[in-house]
Chains A and B, each alone.
Chain A
Amino acid sequence: MSDSKYITLVSGDGFEFVVLREAALVSPTIKGMLRSPFVEAQTGRCTFPEFNAIILEKVVDYFHYWHRNQDKEDVPDMEIPVEMCLELLMAANYFNLDAKPTPRD
């Protein structure tokens, strides 16, 4: 089960997002989560009580956006609604998306 192609991300307000595992691994946080023998790795289900569905959806969007475009050039920017940007910044920080890859990754 831990090797299934998709994993489920759950928002604080109970929405579930089924995401391509490979896409979600762009986040070192999720990667670490699925690597260690913790509950998440066994169930393939990660719950994020700190984020509501709106933000998490955008995060998931980003995962796929990245996954789709990782090898391409001249990729159009992702559309980010201005009112969400602070919260998204925080989410990015939480998901470690703003960090350079550490050696152990």
Chain B
Amino acid sequence: MASRPNKIRPIRRPIMSKDSNEFTPCWEILKNALTDIHNKNASQLSFEHLYRASYKIVMKKKGELLYNHVKAFEEQWFRHHVLPPIAELVSANLISIALLQVPGSSAHERRETGERFLRGIRSTWEDHNTSMNMVADILMYLERTYVSESRQPSIFAATIGLFRDHILRNDLGGSSEQLDQRFLIFDILNAVVLDLINMERDGDIIDRNLLRQITSMLEALYETDDELENTKLYLTVFEPRFLSASQGFYKAECEKLLREGNASAWLRHTQRRLREEQDRCDTSLSILTTDKIASVVEQELIVAKLNDFLAMEGSGMKNMIDHDHHEDLSILYQLICRVDKTKNALKTILQSRVMDLGLEIEQTLKNTDFSAPAPGADAEDAAEGEEKAKVQPLSAAAQQTAAAIKWVDDVLQLKDKFDNLSKICFNEDLVLQSAVTKSFSEFINMFSRSSEFVSLFIDDSLKRGLKGKSDEDVEVVLQKAIILLRYLADRDLFERYHQKHLARRLLHSKSEIHIEKELVRRMRAELGNHFTLKFEGMFKDMELSKDLLESYRDHVRNLGDPDTKKIDLGIHVLTTNNWPPEVMGRSASQEEGDRGDCIFPPAIQRLQASFSKYYLDDRNGRVLTFVASAGTADVKCAFPKIPGKTSGPLSKDRRYELNVSTYGMIVLDLFNNGELEDDERLSFEDIQTKTNIPTQDLIRTLGSLSIPPRSRVLVKEPMSKSVKPTDKFGFNAQFVSKTIKIKAPVISGTSKVEDVEQRKETERKNDQTRAHVVDAAIVRIMKQRKELSHTQLTTEVISQLAGRFKPEISMIKKRIEDLLTREYLERIDGDIAAYRYLA
């Protein structure tokens, strides 16, 4: 390895010749080059040569001189070569068109003139821009040494800025005799561009590319040579003018649309305008403006007259909702989302529409219900009556039931409609959904019979509808039921009705138990445990009864003492608390005083005794009551042949199986025991004395056995369509039926809308129950809080009970009074009403 010390070789400086006055030849080179560049002759030049020239000048510390020389050269060049053609373009014609808006000039003419001017500006700009880039390249060394040290604007900024100073801001020597004030070429440029944009808005086709180039030019130029980002001429001069011109344009357009008075057209137009402006920013202007112009359009076309458009008669939002104009509503939603995150306008109208339509349903219902005497409804009544009158004298009530179901169907339909709107048009917007739900719940609860109707709907669907239907159909019904349930505020009232209807369905096996259970399971999921407690108890009773019956039958078989008459017993043992009082026969005894139970035929009594013994054997302390009003019986009847008849069915013995209510069975038994002569008659009173059946039930029972021809096994005197306490009854030996099995219509088997009396009764009972619930709630709260003011207590009670019903303030007040007298609470002395809990 060589140990020779490395010596730094001094720089040989061939470029730095001793000649100190080297600036002039170098500048000459550069000056010629600049001329060549402007004349587009640069391809003959050597970059290196020019670069070296500027490099040398800078090395000689003559950077500043060079800088100023270049600037001066460019200014001069501008004045002599660039400006004159531009000045030529600014003809008097252009000025009058662009700045004075002289009428009479056709759009075509304006466009031609304007575009010619813009093209002139564009080509000048492009030349200038290219040249300045090249100049900046060859002066790169100057740029990075002298310019950055002296904090001057870069050579590029300084030279490109010439365009701004000498062209855009040129007033052309004030050649504006037609104008009062001075104007700049920039003003003309702006006016022409805006005019072109307006032409495009009116449907003309313009040179978008040209526009884009002009705006990029403005984006490349700054207010000063410092080139601060936010001082682009585009942003400082052009954009504000563009926005304010657009504002004027759209304001006028909005007025025009308002006059035309078509909200649907307005929506589409606005949507199109928004798209156009966005498009314009993408293709002709700058994306910097996209949001700003959008907000101008939103403000002028949407916000300004929003309520006027929405309220338009015949095409406004009401019309869109009513006629399911989904497309319009979608657009509307999108537009409103742009301007208002709370969507209040939309929300209010939706809500009021739901309310109106909901109340309309109720109104229609009322009209059909109460216009029964009116001729139109009469005809309907008659038509329906004809079908049903033979079977059922109570077609009016059945019609009411139909009305209830119609109400539910209508509400569900309305719900479907708004669900659809939400899905299709409103993007399942949560704010709107909850608003609609609120309105639904409001109008449903304004209708006083909603609880009953909902329960009737469930009753109807489960009873009739589901046999032979697929799981999906069942699912739909269940879902509908739950949806409705969600809206109800008086859930305890619904509970009461559902209990009643469910009891009937269960006892008469009218529905499928697994569907009932599924429904109750969903209710529990929706409303909580306490709500479904009774229903589940009912299911349990049914199941236990089934097992019990099995084992009882086994027991009877094992006795080895076959009953000669062989009566088969089917029984449901029901827990009193779980079942509605109507079913348990309690209400009947309340109405008629304590008449005692009805008298069963001896054979039945034996059977009852046998079962009671079996049941109570291992269940000490229970009481078993037989409820005759809720059962049915299959009775085999024999009709002997009629003497003297030789042909036809009457000439033979006939055997029929008659399905009747338990009461019916008891009554029939009276005519069976052989004590009566063939043509002997029993009066109504006789029958009642012998059976002790409550009057109402007896009328119904006798009616079903003596009036409809299909099950007329008794003859009634006199023959009429209704049963009176003065009638007499006898065995109908002439009875003939085509079928062996006959079902006597069970009057109590169908669920109907309650009449006014029943309804009052139900409400009274419900209020009683509520009173207890409110009591319990007050005590619970006070036990915990010890002392509370009246208002606080009221609020707490309401919030505790919100899941079940909405207690009335007066009721709470009454309950508090009651608890005060019963000394659960005491008043605290003081100004405001307050209570203390007494342990």
Give A contacts to B, CB under 8 Å.
Answer: 12, 28-29, 32-33, 35-42, 46-50, 81-87, 90, 94, 96, 99, 102, 104
B42 touches A37 (CB 8 A): yes
Q: What are 21 sample pairs from A and B whose C-beta atoms fall under 8 A apart? A: A29-B51, A29-B140, A33-B51, A33-B137, A36-B47, A36-B134, A37-B43, A39-B46, A39-B47, A40-B47, A47-B46, A50-B52, A82-B6, A85-B8, A86-B8, A86-B11, A87-B11, A94-B55, A102-B143, A102-B144, A104-B156
Is B835's beta carbon under 8 Å from chain A? no
Complex CA–CA separation, A38 to B134 (angstroms): 9
Complex CA–CA separation, A53 to B166 (angstroms): 47
B55 touches A37 (CB 8 A): no
A87 touches B43 (CB 8 A): no
Q: Which residue of B lies closest to A41 (CB)?
A: B47
A92 to chain B, nearest CB (A): 13
Residues in A with CB closer than 8 Å to B42 are: 36-38
Residues in A with CB closer than 8 Å to B11 are: 86-87, 90
Residues in A with CB closer than 8 Å to B599 are: none
Is B469's beta carbon under 8 Å from chain A? no
Name B1-31 residues within 8 Å CB distance of A: 6-12, 14-15
Give B contacts to A, CB under 8 Å.
Answer: 6-12, 14-15, 42-48, 50-52, 55, 133-134, 136-138, 140-141, 143-144, 154, 156
A40 to chain B, nearest CB (A): 5
A86 touches B48 (CB 8 A): no
Complex CA–CA separation, A104 to B134 (angstroms): 12
Contact of B8 among A35, A49, A83, A104 (CB under 8 A): A83
Complex CA–CA separation, A48 to B48 (angstroms): 7
Residues in A with CB closer than 8 Å to B143 are: 102
A39 touching B43 in the complex, CB below 8 Å, given contacts A32-B137, A90-B11: yes
A50 touches B14 (CB 8 A): yes
Residues in A with CB closer than 8 Å to B50 are: 38
Q: Which residue of B lies closest to A90 (CB)?
A: B11
Contact of B46 among A37, A40, A96 (CB under 8 A): A40
A49 to chain B, nearest CB (A): 8
B140 touches A96 (CB 8 A): yes
Complex CA–CA separation, A48 to B52 (angstroms): 9
Secondary structure dominating the interface of A = helix
Residues in A with CB closer than 8 Å to B8 are: 82-83, 85-86
Candidate in A38, A83, A85 with the most chain B CB atoms within 10 angstroms? A38
A44 to chain B, nearest CB (A): 12
Residues in B with CB closer than 8 Å to A48 are: 48
Complex CA–CA separation, A36 to B154 (angstroms): 18
Q: Which residue of B lies closest to A81 (CB)?
A: B6
Secondary structure dominating the interface of B = helix
Complex CA–CA separation, A36 to B137 (angstroms): 8
Residues in A with CB closer than 8 Å to B134 are: 36-38
Complex CA–CA separation, A90 to B10 (angstroms): 11
Q: Which residue of B lies closest to A31 (CB)?
A: B137
A57 to chain B, nearest CB (A): 15
A84 touches B9 (CB 8 A): yes
A104 touches B46 (CB 8 A): no
Known pairs A32-B140, A50-B52; list 6 more (Cβ under 8 Å): A29-B141, A38-B45, A39-B43, A39-B44, A40-B46, A83-B9
A35 touching B14 in the complex, CB below 8 Å, given contacts A48-B48, A82-B8, A86-B8: no
A99 touching B9 in the complex, CB below 8 Å, given contacts A33-B51, A36-B137: no
A47 touching B48 in the complex, CB below 8 Å, given contacts A36-B134, A42-B43: yes
A32 touching B138 in the complex, CB below 8 Å, given contacts A50-B15, A87-B11: yes
Residues in A with CB closer than 8 Å to B6 are: 81-83
Residues in B with CB closer than 8 Å to A50 are: 14-15, 52
Residues in A with CB closer than 8 Å to B156 are: 104
Residues in B with CB closer than 8 Å to A83 are: 6-9
Complex CA–CA separation, A102 to B55 (angstroms): 17
A87 touches B9 (CB 8 A): yes
A95 to chain B, nearest CB (A): 10
Candidate in A37, A81, A84, A102 with the most chain B CB atoms within 10 angstroms? A37
Nearest 7 A/B pairs, CB to CB: A32-B137, A38-B47, A82-B6, A33-B47, A83-B9, A36-B134, A39-B46
Residues in B with CB closer than 8 Å to A81 are: 6
A96 touches B48 (CB 8 A): no
A33 touches B144 (CB 8 A): no
B8 to chain A, nearest CB (A): 6
Complex CA–CA separation, A83 to B9 (angstroms): 5
A25 to chain B, nearest CB (A): 13
Residues in A with CB closer than 8 Å to B12 are: 87
Complex CA–CA separation, A35 to B130 (angstroms): 11
A58 to chain B, nearest CB (A): 13
Q: Which residue of A lies closest to B15 (CB)?
A: A50
Residues in B with CB closer than 8 Å to A38 are: 42-43, 45-47, 50, 134
Complex CA–CA separation, A78 to B545 (angstroms): 100
Residues in A with CB closer than 8 Å to B10 are: 86
Residues in B with CB closer than 8 Å to A40 are: 46-48
B51 touches A39 (CB 8 A): no
Residues in B with CB closer than 8 Å to A47 are: 46, 48
Residues in A with CB closer than 8 Å to B7 are: 82-83
A35 touching B137 in the complex, CB below 8 Å, given contacts A82-B8, A86-B8: yes
Residues in A with CB closer than 8 Å to B154 are: 102
B229 to chain A, nearest CB (A): 11
Residues in A with CB closer than 8 Å to B14 are: 12, 50
Q: Which residue of B lies closest to A42 (CB)?
A: B43
Complex CA–CA separation, A48 to B8 (angstroms): 23
A30 to chain B, nearest CB (A): 9
A97 to chain B, nearest CB (A): 11
Residues in B with CB closer than 8 Å to A104 are: 133, 136, 156
A86 touching B47 in the complex, CB below 8 Å, given contacts A36-B133, A37-B42, A50-B14: no
Complex CA–CA separation, A49 to B47 (angstroms): 13
Q: Which residue of A lies closest to B45 (CB)?
A: A38
A36 touches B138 (CB 8 A): yes
B782 to chain A, nearest CB (A): 76
A26 to chain B, nearest CB (A): 14
Residues in B with CB closer than 8 Å to A37 are: 42-43, 134
Complex CA–CA separation, A51 to B330 (angstroms): 73
Complex CA–CA separation, A32 to B134 (angstroms): 8
Complex CA–CA separation, A50 to B17 (angstroms): 12
Complex CA–CA separation, A96 to B156 (angstroms): 18
Residues in B with CB closer than 8 Å to A84 are: 9
B9 touches A96 (CB 8 A): no
B43 touches A96 (CB 8 A): no
Complex CA–CA separation, A96 to B145 (angstroms): 10
B61 to chain A, nearest CB (A): 15
B784 to chain A, nearest CB (A): 69
A45 to chain B, nearest CB (A): 10
Q: Which residue of B lies closest to A89 (CB)?
A: B11
Residues in B with CB closer than 8 Å to A96 are: 140-141, 144
Complex CA–CA separation, A81 to B5 (angstroms): 12
Q: Which residue of B lies closest to A35 (CB)?
A: B137
Residues in A with CB closer than 8 Å to B141 are: 29, 94, 96
B795 to chain A, nearest CB (A): 68
Residues in B with CB closer than 8 Å to A87 are: 9, 11-12
Candidate in A48, A81, A99 with the most chain B CB atoms within 10 angstroms? A99
Q: Which residue of B lies closest to A12 (CB)?
A: B14
Contact of A32 among B9, B43, B47 (CB under 8 A): B47
